[in-house]
């Protein structure tokens, strides 16, 4: 592996052609940058060892702000003036009948409205009245409309909501545009959150106890404490005169060993096939099917491990649009149950340079506002851990300062009764081309860095000693043993141990296969409770029995080989809607079973010491696999 070793300090450069925008290049990355920015022929370049590096980061195509806070009332309806004036297409619209079902969604009217030059009008008075007034707004003078923006090429871009008052003329009033969601439900606590389009007060009634948000805000986050275990809670939010009501249930006291089910899937980014299979970066069609199956199967929580969206974007505002589309698809169901999210490679928010005609992608910066990790943590509410970042590891070139992005809400553990789920981030500080261009600096797809390893070791040790916990599931986006489209990377790299992170010009000591073995040693040999690795990235379902008999090294592997004292399952389910990958031959193919390119939901049932799993196609309800895990 040829690595260019260059030592340099943090550089202050101007980026994106905006001379007022000065950003500091993180000094743990960008090993190739030799000199600060230069102006050449009116364009901005970074001079590097072998020439120039041009900032070619792509601007956003669409932003969340193009579609939100764009409504105003008119004499006969609602006018929408989108942020993108080139937008042409059509708008589907319809009233949302809250209270009509457990899972409110718009009932779309039979006609659409044309979008021209980024504007359209919803004719409430003419089209949503009389026998189409499903919410009785003609009496009450209020309602909520759901709408769907479709481009003139037929691509779904966004699903929105707007609340109105009046009987004509109409006014737009503060609208709950996202949620409510239930998060981090323990036997005695929970969080309920929702977002409004404008700053407003809100209140929440939980089984008769009132909470309120004051002063006015757009993010409404309610921390509920002192709840009773194994209990049903009805909750009702109020924003102005708008009310929505749902419920959630707390788990039993840890270690009760009651019977319950939870669900696992990942990889729901935009799929092929048209229509709702690609709601601007999200396969909303399969996601809704998966969530409906999740409810039908009586699951109590959902673990979703990465690649929620197409991502690989540069502006937080475009990432937020795709995250909004993801959350809109799961929203009707997530009013009732927590979903725990982890990060995948497609959650990358990146900066792109062209160096010697070769594009180089790295985690965007400043890390405090523009890293993939921070944008993800701002968009989702997950549990937190005491793992801060890779600062302070033996590879940190500057121990006195924070140089790495935060792990916040991307690495954590949570519990339900007698199980724990340990969530890892195998795309932390991700630089997509690091295996080919080590001098770009950054972390490798699939690599768990040193501080995260230490956290995992400590966490597994604690769980091993915890008498309330019988089973541990370890989840991360990338499989240990890929079987299809990611045989060339994940934790195998076609059998090459050479790929590894590079920090300020220095490749770390352990290669990807050595690190995989250290993980297996921790999870399989030094712990007894981990029962399965829940992985994704590859867009298929595949179960792999990992044991010592399984071939897991390339030919003539010179490194130390780890013996496995017991077996563990790798349950790969990246089948939540992303485009498929076909099966490939690997040394461990004979240890795999039930491979399918069909979409799949894993439903895992726990009853005291027993754990079993059924895997169901959410589109056809066909059973794909059924297995006793313990
Ligand atoms: Fe992935």
Please choose, from the candidates 531, 421, 413, 469, the residue with its C-alpha nearest in 3D space to the C-alpha of residue 254: 469
The C-alpha angle with vertex 239 and arms to 238 and 244, in degrees rounded to 5, equals 45
CB 339 within 8 A of CB 304: yes
Residues 387-404: pLDDT tens digits? 999 999 998 888 888 889
The partner residues of 363 in beta bridges, in order of sequence, read 350
102 Cα to the center of ligand 1, angstroms = 33
Using a cut of 0.85, tell me whether the model's pTM lies above it: yes
Q: Is the pLDDT of residue 541 over 80?
A: yes
256 Cα to the center of ligand 1, angstroms = 36
Q: Which residues contact 439 (CB under 8 A, 6 or more apart)?
A: 3, 4, 6, 31, 32, 502, 505
425 Cα to the center of ligand 1, angstroms = 12
478 Cα to the center of ligand 1, angstroms = 7
346 Cα to the center of ligand 1, angstroms = 6
The pLDDT-based confidence of 99 (bands split at 50, 70, 90) is: confident
485 Cα to the center of ligand 1, angstroms = 10
> Which parts of 26-88 are beta strand (E)?
33-40, 43-48, 51-55, 71-73, 78-81
Query: How far apart are the C-alpha atoms of 170 and 499, rounded to whole Å?
Result: 60
The partner residues of 190 in beta bridges, in order of sequence, read 224
The partner residues of 120 in beta bridges, in order of sequence, read 80
CB 333 within 8 A of CB 179: no
CB 10 within 8 A of CB 24: yes
159 Cα to the center of ligand 1, angstroms = 25
477 Cα to the center of ligand 1, angstroms = 7
Write out the two tokens for 436.
């080919």
Residues 39-61: pLDDT tens digits? 455 554 555 555 566 778 888 99
Q: Is the pLDDT of residue 36 over 80?
A: no
In the chain, % helix, strand, coil (3-state, to 5) comes to: 15, 35, 45
The partner residues of 416 in beta bridges, in order of sequence, read 419
92 Cα to the center of ligand 1, angstroms = 32
The pLDDT-based confidence of 37 (bands split at 50, 70, 90) is: very low
The SS3 assignment for 503 reads strand
Please choose, from the candidates 275, 374, 359, the residue with its C-alpha nearest in 3D space to the C-alpha of residue 577: 275
186 Cα to the center of ligand 1, angstroms = 29
- The CB density around residue 290, as the number of other CB atoms within 10 Å, is 27
174 Cα to the center of ligand 1, angstroms = 37
480 Cα to the center of ligand 1, angstroms = 13
Write out the two tokens for 232.
């049903």
Write out the two tokens for 347.
């959650």
Residue 435: predicted pLDDT: 83
Q: Which residues contact 603 (CB under 8 A, 6 or more apart)?
A: 261, 262, 263, 294, 297, 299, 613, 614, 615, 616
565 Cα to the center of ligand 1, angstroms = 30
Residues 329-376: pLDDT tens digits? 999 999 999 999 999 999 999 888 777 677 878 788 788 888 999 999
Query: How far apart are the C-alpha atoms of 361 and 75, rounded to whole Å?
Result: 50
432 Cα to the center of ligand 1, angstroms = 11
> Which parts of 139-189 are beta strand (E)?
142-151, 156-165, 171-173, 176-183
Please choose, from the candidates 165, 149, 148, 144, the residue with its C-alpha nearest in 3D space to the C-alpha of residue 96: 144
Residue 442: predicted pLDDT: 86
Query: Could you identify the residue written with the tokens 């000065």?
Result: 22
283 Cα to the center of ligand 1, angstroms = 15
Sheet-wide strand order for 43-48 = 33-40, 43-48, 51-55, 350-355, 358-363
């Amino acid at each position: 592996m040829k690595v260019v070793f260059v030592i340099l300090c943090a550089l202050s450069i101007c980026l994106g052609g905006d001379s007022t925008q000065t950003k500091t290049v993180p000094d743990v990355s960008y090993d190739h940058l030799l000199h600060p920015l230069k102006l050449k022929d009116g364009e901005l370049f970074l001079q590097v060892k072998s020439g120039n590096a041009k900032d070619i980061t792509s601007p956003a195509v669409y932003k969340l702000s193009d579609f939100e806070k764009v409504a105003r009332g008119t004499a006969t309806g609602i006018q929408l003036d989108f942020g993108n004036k080139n937008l042409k297409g059509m708008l589907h619209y319809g009233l949302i009948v809250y209270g009509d079902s457990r899972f409110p969604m718009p009932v779309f009217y039979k006609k659409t409205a044309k979008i021209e030059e980024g504007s359209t009008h919803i004719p409430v008075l003419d089209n949503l009245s009389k026998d189409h007034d499903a919410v009785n707004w003609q009496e009450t003078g209020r309602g909520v409309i759901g709408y769907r923006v479709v481009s003139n090429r037929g691509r779904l871009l966004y699903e929105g909501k707007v609340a109105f008052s009046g009987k004509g003329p109409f006014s737009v009033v503060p609208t709950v545009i996202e949620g409510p969601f239930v998060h981090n439900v323990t036997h005695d606590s929970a969080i309920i959150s929702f977002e409004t389009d404008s700053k407003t007060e809100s209140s929440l009634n939980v089984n008769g106890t009132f909470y309120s948000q004051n002063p006015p805000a757009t993010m409404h986050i309610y921390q509920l404490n002192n709840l009773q275990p194994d209990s049903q809670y009805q909750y009702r939010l109020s924003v102005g005169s708008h009310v929505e009501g749902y419920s959630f249930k707390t788990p039993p006291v840890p270690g009760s060993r009651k019977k319950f089910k939870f669900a696992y899937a990942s990889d729901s980014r935009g799929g092929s096939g048209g229509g709702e299979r690609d709601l601007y970066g999200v396969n909303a069609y399969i996601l809704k099917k998966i969530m409906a199956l999740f409810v039908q199967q009586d699951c109590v929580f959902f673990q979703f491990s990465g690649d929620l969206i197409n991502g690989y974007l540069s502006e937080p505002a475009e990432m937020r649009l795709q995250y909004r589309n993801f959350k809109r698809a799961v929203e009707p169901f997530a009013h009732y149950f927590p979903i725990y999210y982890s990060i995948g490679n497609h959650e990358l928010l990146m900066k792109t340079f062209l160096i010697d005609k070769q594009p180089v992608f790295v985690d965007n910066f400043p890390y405090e506002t523009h890293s993939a990790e921070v944008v993800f943590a701002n968009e989702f509410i997950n549990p937190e851990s005491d793992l801060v970042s890779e600062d302070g590891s033996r590879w940190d070139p500057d121990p006195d300062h924070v140089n790495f992005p935060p792990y916040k809400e991307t690495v954590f553990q949570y519990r339900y009764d007698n199980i724990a789920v340990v969530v890892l981030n195998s795309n932390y500080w991700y630089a997509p081309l690091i295996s080919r261009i080590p001098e770009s600096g950054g972390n490798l797809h699939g690599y768990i860095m040193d501080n995260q390893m230490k956290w995992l070791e400590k966490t597994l040790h604690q769980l091993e000693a915890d008498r309330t916990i019988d089973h541990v599931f370890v989840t991360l986006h990338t499989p240990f043993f890929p079987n299809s489209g990611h045989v060339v990377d994940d934790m195998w790299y076609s059998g090459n141990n050479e790929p590894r992170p590079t920090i300020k010009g220095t490749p770390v000591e352990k290669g990807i296969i050595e690190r995989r073995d250290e993980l297996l040693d921790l999870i399989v040999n030094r712990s007894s409770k981990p029962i399965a690795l829940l992985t994704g990235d590859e867009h298929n379902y595949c179960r792999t029995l990992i044991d010592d008999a399984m071939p897991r090294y390339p030919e003539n592997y010179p490194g130390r080989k780890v013996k496995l004292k017991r077996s563990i399952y790798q349950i790969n389910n990246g089948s939540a809607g992303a485009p498929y990958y076909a099966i490939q031959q690997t040394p461990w193919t004979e240890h795999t079973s039930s491979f399918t390119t069909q979409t799949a939901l894993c439903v895992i049932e726990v009853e005291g010491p027993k754990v079993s799993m059924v895997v169901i196609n959410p589109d056809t309800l066909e059973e794909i696999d059924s297995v006793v895990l313990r």
